[in-house]
Every structure is written in C-alpha cells, then in structure tokens.
Amino acid sequence: MLVFTLTNLKMMSRNRQATFWALFFPLMLVVAFGLLDIKGVGSPNLVLVDQANTEASKLLREQLAGIEFLGLEQTPTSEVAARLRVAEGDLDYLLIIPVGFVDLSPEGSSIAPASVALVHNSRDLQRNQLVEGVLRNLVARVQPTSLSNAQALHVVSEEVTIPEVSYFDSVLMGLIALGIMTSAIISIPVRISTYRNNSILKRLLVTPLPIWKYFASEISAHLVLAMVQAGIILAVGVFVFGARVHGNPVWLFFIVPLGSLVFLNIGFILSAWARTPAAASGMGNAVVLPMMFFAGTFFSTTTFPWIFPYLAEALPLTPMLSAMRQVAIDGAPLWETWPQLAIMAGWAAGTAVVAAKVFRFS
C-alpha cells in the first residue's frame, strides 16, 4: 500500500499541468484578495446600556434605533456581559449611559452630570471615528439648550484593544478550504472515470491486491497533496500578502486532512455517475461552486435571505471553515473546535458509507 501511495504521489507530481492548476486557482484568488485589500462588508452592531433611565436617555435610544447603520440591538444586557462581548470582538460598540445622565425633569437637575462612555474595539479606525462623531452629535442634541458649555455632557471614548483581523485573514482560510475541496471533489472522479474507461480498475481487480488498499493509497496520496496545498496557500498568504494567523497554525493541519477526507469521499460518490473524465469535471464543479458560495468562503451567509443560512449549516464545508477560522482568527486551540470536528467526522463516516455502496469498477 505504501508503494502504491508513493507511486500515486509520483504520478501526481509528474502530471504537472493538473497539479499546477489545482494549486493555481486558489492561489490566484489569494493574489486577487491580497492585492485588492477588500474591507469586510459587515455593518457594526451597538448595544446601549441605559443606567440612567430618564426621558433624555430614552430619547437617545429612540434616535439611535432610528439610525439603521448602527445596528442597535434591542435585547437588554448588563454592562459586564456587553464589555465581555466587546473584548471578544463580537460587539463593535457599547454605549453606557450612566446614572445622572441629564434629567429633563425639574427635580433631577440637582444631580451632577456624568459622561457617556463609548466602548469600542480597535479594529476599524475609520468606522470608529465615524460612529463616535455620530454619537457625540446625538448626545449633544438630547441635552437641553439651557446647559452651559461647562455643564455639557461629554462622550468619553474607551478603546479595547483586540487582535486586529482583516477580511483577508478570514478569506485566506476560505481559500485554503476551497483549494482542498476543489482538488478532491474534481480530481477523484476524473481519475476514477479515466481508470475505469481504460480498464485500469479492472486490471487491478485481476491482481490479488485487496481493493481497499487501492482506495487507501488513493486517499493517502490526496491527503498528502492537501497538506502541501494548504501549506503553500497559507505561506503565500502570510509571507507575501501579510495575512495574520492568530492561533497556532499547526492546528490547521489537523483540520485540513479531516475536511479533505470528506471531500474525497464525495469525489468517490460522484465517480459512480461520471462516465467520462469531462463529465466528472463538470459534476465536480457543479458541487464545488455552489458549496463555495453558500458555505461562506468569501462572505458571511447569516445575512442571506430565505433558507440559505440553514442551507449553509447543511454543507460539509461550513464546519471546516468555522473550525479553521476559530483557530486562525479567534486563536482557539484545536480542542475548542470539537463540535465542528465532530460534525466533519460524521460527514466523513456518512459519505464513506454511501461511497462504498455506490462505487462501481466497470
């Protein structure tokens, strides 16, 4: 089996054209995204913690809710919980209205005014300035005009430094997964249909080679290829285009082969229907391209309409991307991604059973 695996790798390395293109497609996208420096298109979210609960603070909330761009969340939450979310990068802006925020009622005027605190993360400098300006304006507007400049309330900005994540860091993980998925789902059916048409599979069947060894060697060779591919794409992204991996990159190389295994199995399933290599390549693309979009390789699917967010959950690429991003973006260790790894293992087992059922030699 080792001989067969090594021989398979030898064939792949000699078939330079196919191997080159398998690598070239994701690399081309790495270059495109790296050069374009596309910013994340996500809109911010804002939480308002109202400790004053006065007419003015209610007015402020109404006005904030009126600005759709800010994405004011309506669910009440505590200051501690909200601050934690900012620190984790889940929340972009937290506005705290302290007790003693300007009280429009006559009896409240005796309380000393306190400053409004804006807590935000350090990720998007330009957006931070914009949001801060908007908030200062609004706060000034809800104050009675009678207040003197000295009494006027201020917005105190408080920055929480969190690791900087660019859109490119996130999309790089998507491109690694894309490269691995493409080479597995397209290459396996193309190879199998070629072998079947040339009676190579039959030629193997007349030897005493247990046929599982053939599959094992095909799979191990592709897993090695997947690791090399991931390594090259990651290296180009990091060293040429300055992407950052916040977690331990070694963990990625545990997620990659598991994902690759799922896609190889899908490739074996497709090969059952592909009569010619050309048909195989078409079928592979028909699976790969929609999966690429709906699993969130390039952009988050949570804002998709209709059933698409649920569809994303039903795709095997989604847990792989999620696990890779947890490691690379959020700096999580491998074991914290176990739910995703478990889903991928389930996919691997399920697709293996189907592949074994539908596979045909001639």
Q: Given the complex with other proteins, which of 208 and 305 has the nearer CB atom?
A: 208
CA dihedral over 98, 104, 105, 108, signed as positive or negative: positive
Minimum CB distance to other proteins, residue 202 (Å):
6
Q: What are phi and psi of 160, to 5 degrees?
A: -105, 120
| 117 φψ region: left (φ > 0), alpha (ψ -120 to 50), beta (else) | beta
Q: Given the complex with other proteins, which of 39 and 202 has the nearer CB atom?
A: 202
164: CB partners within 8 A, 6+ apart: 122, 123, 244
- Cα distances from 75 to residues 49, 58, 134, 347, 360, in angstroms, run 10, 15, 22, 36, 55
200 binds other proteins (CB under 8 A): yes
207 binds other proteins (CB under 8 A): yes
Contact 43, 71 (CB under 8 A): yes
Minimum CB distance to other proteins, residue 252 (Å):
30
**What number of residues does the chain have?**
362
209 binds other proteins (CB under 8 A): yes
202 binds other proteins (CB under 8 A): yes
**Span near other proteins by CB under 8 A; candidates 101-109, 117-125, 207-215, 281-289:** 207-215
For residues 9 to 38, the per-residue mask of contacts with other proteins, x marking binding by CB under 8 A and - elsewhere, is -xx--xx-----------------------
Q: Given the complex with other proteins, which of 204 and 232 has the nearer CB atom?
A: 204
When binding is defined by CB under 8 A, the residue of 203, 314, 331, 360 that contacts other proteins is: 203
Give the closest residue to 25 by CA, choosing from 246, 248, 281. 281
314 binds other proteins (CB under 8 A): no
Helix axes 249-271, 211-235, angle to 10 degrees: 130
204 binds other proteins (CB under 8 A): yes
How many residues bind to other proteins according to rule CB under 8 A?
18
Site residues for other proteins per CB under 8 A: 3-4, 7, 10-11, 14-15, 198-200, 202-209
